[in-house]
Each structure stands twice: as C-alpha cells, then as structure tokens.
Amino acid sequence: MQQVGVAVIGFGWMGRAHTQAYDRVRHHYPDLAAPRLVAVADPVPGRAAQAAARFGFERATTDWRELLDDPAVAAVSVTAPNFEHRELGAAVAASGRHLWIEKPVGVTAADTRAVAAAARAAGVVAAVGFNYRNVPAVLAARELVAGGRIGTVTHASVRLLGDYAADAGGAFTWRYELERAGHGVIGDLGSHGVDLVRFLLGEVAEVVADGAVFIPRRRRPDGVTTGHARAETGRLVDVENEDWSAAVLRLASGARVTLEVSRVAVGHQNDYGFRVHGTEGAVEWDFRRMGELSVTRGDGVQDLPLATVFAGPDAGDLAAFQPAPAIAMGYDDLKVIEAAGFLGAIAGSGAVTATLDDAVAAATVLDAIAASAAERRWVGVDAAAVAAP
C-alpha cells in the first residue's frame, strides 16, 4: 500500500498527539495509505532529536524550512504556537504539501484567511484540529437536532472550563501575549466552543460579550519553559489577554446560545460540554463522559426525565475503535479520526473533518466576541467574511 510521507512542525504536547495519531491510524483504518514519519522540526535544542528517537522519525531538525525542501515529505502537521501559524501554514501550502494545522490558525481572523487563501491557491488538502466535532456522541447529537427530534432549537449553552492557568504562580508564556497569542482563553477554548455551536446549530449572526483578566501579572521565566509550569523567579509582567469570557450568541436561525470559557476555573478540569433545548426535547453532552448523551423526548413537554443514551458503532467513527456502545474512547482517539480524514482526503477517498473555512468562520466569530467585550455592545458577525472563499 502506498505510504504518505509526513512531517511535524512543533513538538509540544499537540505535536506528540499528531504523531501518535499518525502512528495509530493504520490500526483503526487499515485501508488507508499508511503515514511514514519522515521528519520533525522544533526550535528548542534537543527536542526534535528526542522526538525522532522516541517515535521513529527518520530525521530531526531545528529549522522547519528544511522539511519543505525534502521530496519525501508530502504532508505536514503544524502544531507550533499561534503566532507562527500564518507563516508556517502559508509556507507549507505554497510548497505544495498538504496541511493539517491546529486551531485557532493564527492570532486573528486575518491570519486564518491568509492560510486558507494559500491552501486554496496551492490546491492542497487542508485540515484543522477541531477535534470535539469528531466525538461519536456529538455526531449523534447533531443528527438528533438536524432530524427535528427535539423540535425547533430555542436556546443552548456551551461551556469550556479549565483550571490550567488558575495558579497565579504559573509562568508568563506566549499564551498571555496579545502579539503572539492574540485572544486568550477565547482563542484557546472559545475556538472549540464556536466550532461546536456552528457544527451543531448553524451560523452565528450577532454577539454580545464580556471578558476579564483575574490574574493580571505573572512572572516571565529567564529560560525555556513548557506547558503551564510555575515560575519561581523572573520579572513580573502584565497579562495581556482574557482569563474568562462569556457571550450570548444570536444564531441565524433565531436560537440563542450562551458560551462561557475560562482558563482559571478552580475545581474544573476539562469541563467541556453543551446543552441544547428544543420545543419538544433537549440533549446534553459532557466531554468527561464522552460516549454518553442525556436526552429528553416524550409525550408532552413538561416533567420529562433525562435518559442516558450511549453512542453506538453507528455513530461517527466509533466502529473503527470499539464494537459496542458504552466502551469508552479517549481524546487521542479523536486525533486519530482527524488523521484518518486528512489521509483519506489526500488519497481522494475521504474528507477532512474540519476545514480552513470552518477555522475562518470560527475566527470571525471570535473577533466579534472580543470586539463586543471591548466596546460593550452587540457586534454583528460579518456573514460575507464567514462565507468568503
């Protein structure tokens, strides 16, 4: 079977997740062309070499440009920080390589549009890491909503709450800088939230929002740091983007959605989910119970119970992983599904699960949320910008 030579740029946690997905994809999708781990690039000395030794990349480098000169590389994962997305994504596409890039695809919607334009001009396959839409139970909820089984959607709530930045002693990194991260928790978790809203319920027409920084200063470490490590020394600097945000979204359908995101929610780890209410029922999902839905349907509309429904092998790609309902899947499985869609699209036998057009639409809504919080008013979402090719 033909192989696809792949490379990974940026080897933090997400670079590892992409690599593991490539490694596992042939186990779950044996009919796909198998990926070949050709090269890995990371600017931190030693990191790429360690990744190559651990995962079996054929070579490692600190200069990502070398990957685009390698004829063995046909596809590239971009898992570097936000401020590098525009340059890297556009360069990968312009080189004729297929692109799998992590959200939010840049610092602003303008960055996202630039990467989308480059990929379109080059005619390459491009996938974006909106992984929560790949959950089989989420796909089952989408079918339930689209099929009218809870009636007409009236309102919904979406939450993505985490405590990863709740420690005031956590180091100041690029994630807290406007120039390098752009939005704070809006870009990090809110991008997933907006994508879920669009995936389940349709386009956003207008937003009103608020945001806040609750830990205003952090220490900038003197050396390289990883993840959300503590900084015991270093100069105190100002946090430049939001720790928390809440928005009301008016959808094109007329439904209303509340969206709350936080990176400082003490006691909440990866507390992600949604609740959708319709005129005849409701459906709920919690990421921490990934394979379950809570569904309300029945005669009448009052005093109805919630029933737990487990996603089965007919939901999404569950059958590629498990033979029956209620056997748990995990986060990494969602990246395997993404990898399979990416490789299938390259081969012409499938489609990516989220496109750069999806990323452009989400980024446009995020910019409107940020503008609303800054200006303290309702802000319309530019439908032409969302839909523009």
Give me the pLDDT at residue 226, please. 63
Q: What's the structural domain count of the chain?
A: 2
Residue 192 lies in a domain: yes
In sequence order, which residues have a C-beta less than 8 Å from that of residue 110 and are 6 or more positions away?
none
| Residue 196 to residue 8: CA distance in whole angstroms | 26
> Do both 126 and 154 map to the same domain?
no
Q: Which domain holds residue 156?
A: 132-326+354-375
> Do both 48 and 78 map to the same domain?
yes
Last residue of a domain, one of 130, 146, 161: 130
| Residue 387 to residue 389: CA distance in whole angstroms | 6
What CATH number is attached to the domain comprising 314? 3.30.360.10
CB-CB contact of 303 with 313 (8 Å)? no
> Do both 370 and 234 map to the same domain?
yes
Give me the pLDDT at residue 225, please. 65
> Do both 155 and 67 map to the same domain?
no
Q: What is the DSSP letter of 172?
A: P
Quote the crossing angle between the two packed helices 136-146 and 191-201, to the nearest 10°: 40
- Phi/psi of residue 340, each to 5°? -65, -40
Cα end-to-end span (Å), the chain: 35
| Residue 27 to residue 321: CA distance in whole angstroms | 9
* Helix or strand (DSSP H, E) at 57: none
Residue 340 lies in a domain: no
Q: What is the DSSP letter of 149?
A: B
Last residue of a domain, one of 91, 109, 130: 130
Nearest one of 274, 255, 244 to 206, comparing CA atoms: 255
> Do both 38 and 140 map to the same domain?
no
Last residue of a domain, one of 130, 145, 179: 130
> Do both 171 and 222 map to the same domain?
yes
Whose tokens are 């920080």? That residue is: 81
What CATH number is attached to the domain comprising 106? 3.40.50.720
> Do both 243 and 371 map to the same domain?
yes
CB-CB contact of 186 with 245 (8 Å)? yes
> Do both 64 and 182 map to the same domain?
no
Give me the pLDDT at residue 388, please. 60
Residue 345 lies in a domain: no
| Residue 242 to residue 186: CA distance in whole angstroms | 7
Q: pTM to 2 decimals?
A: 0.96
> Do both 145 and 282 map to the same domain?
yes
Give me the pLDDT at residue 229, please. 83
The first and second tokens of residue 145, run together, are 């909503």
Residue 247 lies in a domain: yes
The first and second tokens of residue 117, run together, are 């334009």
Give me the pLDDT at residue 61, please. 98
- Averaged pLDDT, groups of 10, the chain, 389 residues long: 91 97 97 96 97 98 97 98 97 98 97 98 98 98 98 98 96 94 96 98 98 97 74 92 98 98 98 98 98 94 94 97 96 98 95 97 97 98 76
Residue 140 lies in a domain: yes
| Residue 318 to residue 52: CA distance in whole angstroms | 30
Beta strands in 30-125 (DSSP E): 35-41, 59-61, 75-78, 98-101
Give me the pLDDT at residue 286, please. 98
Residue 31 lies in a domain: yes
> Do both 44 and 22 map to the same domain?
yes
Residue 220 lies in a domain: yes
Angle at 260 between CA 256 and CA 262, to 5 degrees: 170
Give me the pLDDT at residue 210, please. 98
Residue 60 lies in a domain: yes
DSSP string, 199-254: HHH--EEEEEEEEE-SS-EEEE-SS---TT-B-SSSEEEE--S-SEEEEEEEETTS
Give me the pLDDT at residue 231, please. 85
Whose tokens are 């409701």? That residue is: 282
Q: Residue-wise over 152-162: b if at least 16 C-beta within 10 A, else e?
A: ebebbebbbbb
Whose tokens are 């207008």? That residue is: 206
Give me the pLDDT at residue 224, please. 62
Whose tokens are 């990926």? That residue is: 35
